[in-house]
C-alpha cells in the first residue's frame, strides 16, 4: 500500500480509501466489520463515510453506516489506527436528519447538531476529516455537463463564511481535526481558501469529487487548484457506478447489482449518454489486451494521477473488495497510457 500526505497536513493516508455507503442497505453490520478488518490488514488506514449513508438515502437506514463503524471501533479498540472521514449534508430537502424535522442546511446550528450526532454513532470523540457533502448554493456536480450556467445565488442561501466559521468552531473544540469539501467547483474551493486567509479560519485540506476514466472533469479546473493550493483530491466513483467493470455492456443487468436493485437514480444521470458505453467498451478492451482486470485497471488509472491523493473504493462482497484493494499492485505502463489517451481523444468527457 502507498501513502500520501493529506493536503498540507502531516497525516499520511493510504492511496486506497474504504468507501462505506452500501453498509446498512446492501451490507450488514457483520459485512461492514469484515470489510474493515480486511482493509486494515491490507494497509488501508483511511475510511470515508457520511451522516446520510446508507445509499439510497432512506429515513430507516440513515446513519446506519456510521453506527456500524462505531461498533467496530468499540469492539476492536483501534480508533487510533484509522484516519476517519465523514460528511455533513448540505441543502437536501430531507428533514429526518435534523431536530424538529428541519430541512438540512449548512448553517452553524445544523453543522453543530450534525457533528454531535455523527460522533455518537461513530463512538468517537473526534473526526479526522469533516467534509461538506455538497454546496449550499445551487450546483451542477451531478448534471452531466461541463458548462457552468449562470444563475444568481438565492437570497436565503447560507453564506460560505457562516459554514466555514462553524467548521472552525468544531476544530477549536477538538471535535474535528481538519475540514474538507465534496462535490465542489473551482470557484467554491477558492472561496473557502480565500475566507480561511482573510478571516483566520481553518483551511480546507481536501476535496472529494467524482473522477474516473469516463468522467475526467476534475482535470479541467480543479486539478490546477490541487497543484497550487495542495487541496487533496479524494476521488469517488472510480468505477463509474460499476460501469467501467464492463458488467453492464451489451444490455447486461447482473442480479444484485446496484443498477438492478435501485435503478438509475440521480447519480447515474451522467452515465446515460451513448458515448459512455462506447468509451467503456474500448477501455475494457484495453484492460483485457494487457491482461488486467477491468476494475483494477480503472482504479489504478485514478491512483497514478499527479493530482490524486486517495481513491475511494466500495464493495458489496469480499471478492470485490480484494480485487479493488489489490489494484495497487497493477502497473499502468506508458504503452497503456497511450492507448487510454487515444480513447479519451475519441470520447472526451463522456460522463462529466
pLDDT averaged per 10 residues, the chain (length 352): 98 98 97 98 98 96 98 98 98 92 96 98 98 92 77 93 98 98 97 98 98 96 96 97 93 84 72 90 98 98 98 97 98 98 96 88
Chain centroid offset of residue 276 CA: 21
Tens digits of residue pLDDT in 125-168: 999 999 999 999 988 777 677 888 888 999 999 999 999 999 99
Residue 266 has a pLDDT of: 63
Residue 130 has a pLDDT of: 99
3-class SS letters over 305-333: CCCEEEEEECCCCHHHHHHHHHHHHCCCC
> Measuring CA to CA, which residue among 220, 233, 238 is closest to residue 147?
220
Q: Is 154 helix (H, G, I), strand (E, B) or coil?
A: coil
* Cβ count near 253 (within 10 Å): 9
User: Which numeric CATH code is attached to 3-240+306-331?
Assistant: 3.20.20.100
Active site residues: 53
Residue 151 has a pLDDT of: 83
Contact criterion met (CB below 8 Å) for 132 and 104: no
Strand pairing category for 12-14 and 3-5: antiparallel
Can you tell me the distance from the alpha carbon of 219 to that of 95, in angstroms, rounded to the nearest whole number? 35
Q: Is 157 helix (H, G, I), strand (E, B) or coil?
A: coil
C-alpha torsion sign, points 185, 191, 196, 202: negative
Amino acid at each position: 500500500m502507498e501513502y500520501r500526505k493529506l493536503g498540507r497536513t502531516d497525516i499520511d493516508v493510504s492511496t486506497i480509501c474504504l468507501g462505506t455507503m452500501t453498509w446498512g442497505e446492501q451490507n450488514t453490520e457483520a459485512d461492514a466489520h469484515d470489510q474493515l478488518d480486511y482493509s486494515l490488514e491490507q494497509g488501508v488506514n483511511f475510511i470515508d463515510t457520511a451522516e446520510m449513508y446508507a445509499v439510497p438515502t432512506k429515513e430507516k437506514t440513515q446513519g446506519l453506516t456510521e453506527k456500524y463503524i462505531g461498533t467496530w471501533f468499540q469492539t476492536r479498540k483501534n480508533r487510533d489506527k484509522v484516519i476517519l472521514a465523514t460528511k455533513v449534508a448540505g441543502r437536501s430537502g430531507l428533514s429526518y436528519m435534523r431536530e424538529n424535522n428541519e430541512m438540512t442546511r449548512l448553517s452553524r446550528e445544523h453543522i453543530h447538531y450534525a457533528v454531535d450526532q455523527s460522533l455518537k454513532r461513530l463512538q468517537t470523540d473526534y473526526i479526522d476529516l469533516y467534509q461538506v457533502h455538497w454546496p449550499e448554493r445551487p450546483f451542477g456536480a451531478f448534471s452531466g455537463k461541463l458548462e457552468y450556467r449562470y444563475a444568481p445565488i438565492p437570497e436565503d442561501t447560507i453564506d460560505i463564511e457562516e459554514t466555514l466559521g462553524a467548521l472552525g468552531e468544531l476544530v477549536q473544540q477538538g471535535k474535528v481535526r481538519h475540514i474538507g469539501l465534496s462535490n465542489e467547483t473551482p470557484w467554491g474551493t477558492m472561496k473557502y481558501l480565500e475566507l480561511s486567509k482573510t478571516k483566520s479560519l481553518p483551511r480546507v485540506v481536501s476535496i472529494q469529487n467524482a473522477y474516473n476514466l469516463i468522467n475526467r472533469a476534475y482535470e479541467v479546473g480543479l486539478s490546477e487548484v490541487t497543484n497550487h493550493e495542495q487541496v487533496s483530491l479524494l476521488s469517488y466513483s472510480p468505477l463509474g457506478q460499476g460501469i467501467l467493470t464492463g458488467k453492464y455492456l451489451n444490455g447486461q443487468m447482473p442480479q444484485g447489482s446496484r443498477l438492478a436493485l435501485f435503478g438509475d437514480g440521480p447519480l447515474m444521470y451522467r452515465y446515460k449518454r451513448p458515448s459512455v458505453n462506447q468509451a467503456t467498451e474500448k477501455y475494457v478492451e484495453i484492460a483485457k489486451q494487457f491482461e488486467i482486470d477491468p476494475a483494477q485497471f480503472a482504479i489504478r488509472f485514478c491512483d497514478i494521477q499527479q493530482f490524486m491523493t486517495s481513491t475511494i473504493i466500495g464493495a458489496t462482497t469480499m471478492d470485490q473488495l480484494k480485487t479493488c484493494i489489490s489494484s495497487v499492485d497493477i502497473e499502468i505502463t506508458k504503452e497503456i497510457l497511450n492507448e487510454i489517451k487515444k480513447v479519451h481523444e475519441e470520447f472526451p468527457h463522456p460522463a462529466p
